[in-house]
């Protein structure tokens, strides 16, 4: 019986290793008390949504080409609102400035508050690794943040698109547990 368990475990390891190695890893997450998916949905649905890229996820590659390749990958993985990700979205006067900031190879001590205030610091990137710090900002306030990484050789690598599918579910969760709890909830 012991030998059968060993054979099964070895076989499972051989079969599952490629799937595990290619999967995106999502790091820790943080949500502001004010985070509300309904607010995100209302401002993003049928609108352009600003994305800011900081750093280059593939050093040595032309950032213009990288940005062009990342936009369709993000759009294909977009969250539920009928939004269009775009780099050049003007802020609407007298309205909050909502945006997603992606910092590639961020410094370990970079905070989401700094990111929402336009600060970026980087660490040396690892070859063959796509490493992003995603921060959803409303003006200078971080509403949600997380990190994600995956092995990838270029911005058109399918693993990058898969990372965005997983990442956006974490950046903009629609969980009722994250709804702001204010007042008595309308109960009388």
How far apart (Å, rounded) are the C-alpha atoms in residues 84 and 68? 14
| Statement: the pTM of the whole predicted model exceeds 0.95 | no
Nearby residues of 48 by Cβ (< 8 Å), 6 or more positions away: 83, 84, 85, 86, 89
> In the 8-state DSSP scheme, what is residue 143?
E
End-to-end CA distance of the chain: 63
Question: CA–CA distance from 59 to each of 62, 66, 104, 125 (Å)?
Answer: 8, 10, 10, 7
Instruction: Give 148's strand partners.
Output: 26, 132
**Domain layout of the chain by residue ranges:** 24-176
Reported as a single tens digit per residue, the pLDDT across 26-71 is 999 999 999 999 999 999 999 999 999 999 999 889 999 999 999 9
Residue 183's pLDDT band (cuts 50, 70, 90) = low
């Amino acid at each position: 019986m012991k030998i059968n368990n060993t054979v099964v475990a070895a076989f499972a390891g051989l079969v599952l290793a490629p799937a595990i190695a290619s999967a995106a890893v999502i790091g820790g997450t943080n949500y502001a008390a004010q985070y509300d998916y309904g607010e995100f949905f209302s401002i993003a649905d049928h609108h352009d949504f600003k994305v800011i890229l900081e750093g280059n996820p593939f050093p040595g590659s032309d950032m213009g080409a990288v940005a062009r390749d990342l936009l369709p990958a993000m759009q294909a993985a977009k969250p539920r609102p009928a939004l269009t990700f775009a780099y050049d979205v003007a802020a609407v006067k007298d309205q909050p400035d909502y945006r997603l900031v992606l910092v590639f190879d961020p410094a370990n001590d970079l905070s989401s508050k700094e990111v929402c205030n336009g600060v970026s610091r980087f660490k040396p990137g690892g070859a063959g690794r796509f490493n992003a710090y995603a921060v959803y900002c409303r003006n200078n306030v971080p509403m949600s943040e997380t990190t994600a990484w995956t092995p990838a050789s270029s911005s058109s690598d399918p693993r990058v698109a898969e990372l965005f599918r997983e990442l956006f579910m974490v950046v903009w969760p629609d969980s009722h547990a994250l709804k702001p709890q204010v007042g008595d909830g309308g109960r009388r």
